[in-house]
Amino acid sequence: MTDMRWSGWGADADRMTLSDQVLGLLRQGLGVTPEAMRSVSVDEVELPDSALSSAAAEAFGAVVGADQVRTDRDARLLHVGGRSTVDLWRRRAGDASDAPDAVVLPGSHDEVLGVLRVASEHGVAVVPFGGGTSVVGGVEPDRGGFGSVVALDLRRLDGLVEVDEVSMTARLEPGLRGPDAERLLAEHGLTLGHFPQSFEYASIGGFAATRSAGQASSGYGRFDDSVVAMRVATPAGSLDLGRAPASAAGPDLRQLFLGSEGALGVITEVTVRVRPAPAEVRDETWAFTDFAAGADAVRRLAQSGSLATVTRLSDEAETAVNLAMGRDAGTPSPANGGCLLIIGHEGTPSQVASARAATTEVLTAVGGRSLGADASHGWRTGRYQGPYLRDALLDAGAQVETLETATSWSRLDRLYAAVRDAITASLTAAGTPPLVLCHLSHAYPTGASLYFTVVAKAADDPIAQWTAAKHAAGHAIAAEGGTITHHHAVGLDHRDWMEAEIGTLGLAVLRSVKETLDPAGILNPGKLLPPPD
C-alpha cells in the first residue's frame, strides 16, 4: 500500500505544476503571486515524544504482535490527520504537535476487539484510520482528555472475503482501498460503481463510516445504499448486522454505524451490493443558458426516473474556469456565459441506448443543447485530479478548499446564493476576494447537492482565513435549512452544527448510544458529536 506524501495528496511523482496561463489568471484575477511558497520538509518537522505508556504498548503488542505497534517517526507522521487544506497548511508549517503516540495495526476482527479492550483499560484514545483522506478533521488524533492516543490503522484488513454471484453481493474488509476493491471485483466481472474523487486512496471502511457518495452515484447509489450487512467491533463487544435484504425487525441498526465516523465502533467487514461491470460507458455534454435552467433540467431527470449514471452540472463560473484551464479541452463554449452538464451512461449497449434516449428526450424538451460525446472526454480522464490541482494552487500562494451541502429542489437556488454570498463576504472582508465555483453532482427526486470550490489569495494566516469563511458558510447552510454535509461527513469541522441538524434530543440519543457502546469514550474523541455544555 502506497502512502501519500507528508504535505499533500498522492505520491511525490504525481505532483502537478501549473501552466503559465493558469499562473497568469491567478495573478490577474485574484492577486496571487505566482511563486512557490516554501514548505517545511518532513525532515525538519519536530515530533513530540510519544506519551504512550510502556504498559499500554506491551498490552497492545500482546494483542496484535509487538511489530504491529509502531512508535517510529515515519509511522506517526503519516497518521497526523487527513488531507483538508487546513491539514496541509499545518504540515507545510511543520506542525506535527497532534501526531498520535503510536500506530496500531490489527489483522483481524478479534484483534480490533482486543485493541479496544486494552485502550479502554489503559485510558488511550483510539482513532480508526483507513486511507487518511478525510477533509473535515475526521481522523485527527484528538486525545479527548486522555493521556495518549493511537491511530488504529486498518490496512492489514484488506481482503475480498467472499463474492456471492447469485445474490450479487461481496464481503469486503475495511482497509481495502477503492482501486484494489475494483481490481478484485473485476476478476469476477463485477464493480462497486463507487468512484469518489478520493477513490485512489480512500478505503472501504471509510466509505461506509462517512456515507460516501461517488461521482457515479446517480446510477449506482451512495455507498450506504449498497451496504446490506456489516460487522462492527466496539469496546462493549461485537455486532453482526443485516440478516436479509429487508427486515421489519425493529430499527435498522446498520444506520447507527453508517456515517458514525468511528465514534461508535470500528467497522471490520462490509457486505455490499455489486453490479456487473459495464460493457459500455458513454459520456456526453449538454449546454444550458444558465445554472438555474440546468438545475431544472436535472430535477426533471430525477423526477422522471431518467437520471444518468453520472450527472454533473457546473455553474457558469466553474464552466468558464474549466474551459480556461483546458480541463474540458475541445468543448465548445456555451453561449452567453452558460453552463455545462456532463451526462454519463453505463451498462449493456441496450441499457445505454435506452437510457440515452430517455435522457435526450427530457433535456431537449427543456432547452438543452447537446455538444456530443467528445466534449466530455476531459472530465472522464481528469476526474481524480482535483486534489493534485489543489496542492499546486497552494504551492503558488493560493487559498483553495471545497465544501458541500444539499437541500430540497424548492430551496436549492436560495441555498446556492446564500453560501456563495457568505463565502464571498468573509474572504472579501479579509482583503482576499475569492472566486467561488459550484457544481451539482448528486441528484434525487426531492433535491440535490451543491459542491463549492473556493479560490483566493492566501492570507498571512491562511488557516484563520479559511476557518472564518467556512464558519460563515456553515451558518448560511443552517439558516437556509440545508444539511451541513452531504458526503464529506462531520468530523471536527462540522460538529458544531450537529444540534442544528438533528436537534438537542437527537444529540442526546447519539450520546446515549455512544455511552452504551463505548463507556470509556475512547473512540475517535471530538468527532461527530459536539462536547456537552
Nearby residues of 398 by Cβ (< 8 Å), 6 or more positions away = 26, 30, 32, 455, 456, 457, 458
Domain boundary among 339, 354, 381: 381
Report pLDDT for 34: 67
The β-bridge partners of 212 are none
Domain boundary among 241, 276, 311: 276
Question: Which residue in the block uniquely carries the three cell numbers 483538508?
Answer: 84
Compute the distance between CA of residue 386 and CA of residue 271 in angstroms, rounded to an integer: 30
Report pLDDT for 322: 86
The answer to whether position 34 is within a domain reads: no
Express each pLDDT in 312-326 by its tens digit: 999 999 999 988 876
Residue 330's domain comprises 280-381
What integer is the mean pLDDT of 427-453?
97
Give me the amino acid identity at 167. Answer: S
Check: CB of residue 321 under 8 Å from CB of residue 389: no
For residue 337, what is the domain's CATH number?
3.30.70.3450
Q: Are residues 253 and 355 in the same domain?
A: no
Compute the distance between CA of residue 421 and CA of residue 448 in angstroms, rounded to an integer: 19
| Cα three-residue angle 485-95-136, rounded to 5 degrees | 5
Is pLDDT of 466 > 80?
yes
Q: Are residues 258 and 286 in the same domain?
A: no
Report pLDDT for 533: 74
Q: Are residues 209 and 226 in the same domain?
A: yes
Compute the distance between CA of residue 451 and CA of residue 473 in angstroms, rounded to an integer: 12
Q: What percent of the chain has pLDDT over 70?
A: 97
The answer to whether position 5 is within a domain reads: no
Domain count, the chain: 2
Q: Are residues 286 and 270 in the same domain?
A: no
For residue 173, what is the domain's CATH number?
3.30.465.10
The DSSP result for 200-225, as a single string, is TT-BHHHHHHTT---TTHHHH--HHH
Q: Are residues 258 and 288 in the same domain?
A: no
Q: Are residues 260 and 348 in the same domain?
A: no
Express each pLDDT in 267-303 by its tens digit: 999 999 999 999 999 999 999 999 999 999 999 999 9
Task: Specify the 3-state DSSP secondary structure of 131.
Answer: coil
Q: Are residues 239 and 312 in the same domain?
A: no
Report pLDDT for 329: 45
Domain boundary among 354, 381, 408: 381
The answer to whether position 392 is within a domain reads: no
Catalytic residue flag (residue 451): yes
Q: Are residues 265 and 297 in the same domain?
A: no
Express each pLDDT in 196-255 by its tens digit: 999 999 999 999 999 999 999 999 999 999 999 999 999 999 999 999 999 999 999 999
Q: Are residues 315 and 376 in the same domain?
A: yes
Q: How confident is the model at residue 187 (pLDDT cuts 50, 70, 90)?
A: very high
Report pLDDT for 335: 55
- For the chain, what is the largest distance between any 2 Cα atoms, rounded to a whole number of angstroms? 70
Radius of gyration of the chain (CA): 23
Q: What percent of the chain has pLDDT over 90?
A: 89
The answer to whether position 134 is within a domain reads: no
Pairing state between β 124-129 and 148-153: parallel
Catalytic pick among 201, 220, 384, 451: 451
Q: How confident is the model at residue 327 (pLDDT cuts 50, 70, 90)?
A: low
Compute the distance between CA of residue 404 and CA of residue 72 in angstroms, rounded to an integer: 36
Q: How many CA atoms lie within 13 A of 461 on its CB side?
A: 6
Task: Specify the 3-state DSSP secondary structure of 472.
Answer: helix
> In which order are the strands placed within the sheet that holds 237-241?
160-164, 169-172, 266-273, 227-234, 237-241
Q: How confident is the model at residue 31 (pLDDT cuts 50, 70, 90)?
A: very high
The answer to whether position 231 is within a domain reads: yes
Pairing state between β 148-153 and 102-104: parallel
Q: How confident is the model at residue 81 (pLDDT cuts 50, 70, 90)?
A: very high
Q: Are residues 262 and 316 in the same domain?
A: no
The answer to whether position 238 is within a domain reads: yes
Q: Are residues 304 and 219 in the same domain?
A: no
What integer is the mean pLDDT of 413-440?
98
Which of 67-71, 416-420, 509-513, 529-533 is least confident? Answer: 529-533
Is pLDDT of 431 > 90?
yes
Express each pLDDT in 351-398 by its tens digit: 999 999 999 999 999 999 999 887 677 788 888 999 999 999 999 999
H or E segment to which residue 191 belongs: strand 190-191
Q: Are residues 236 and 317 in the same domain?
A: no
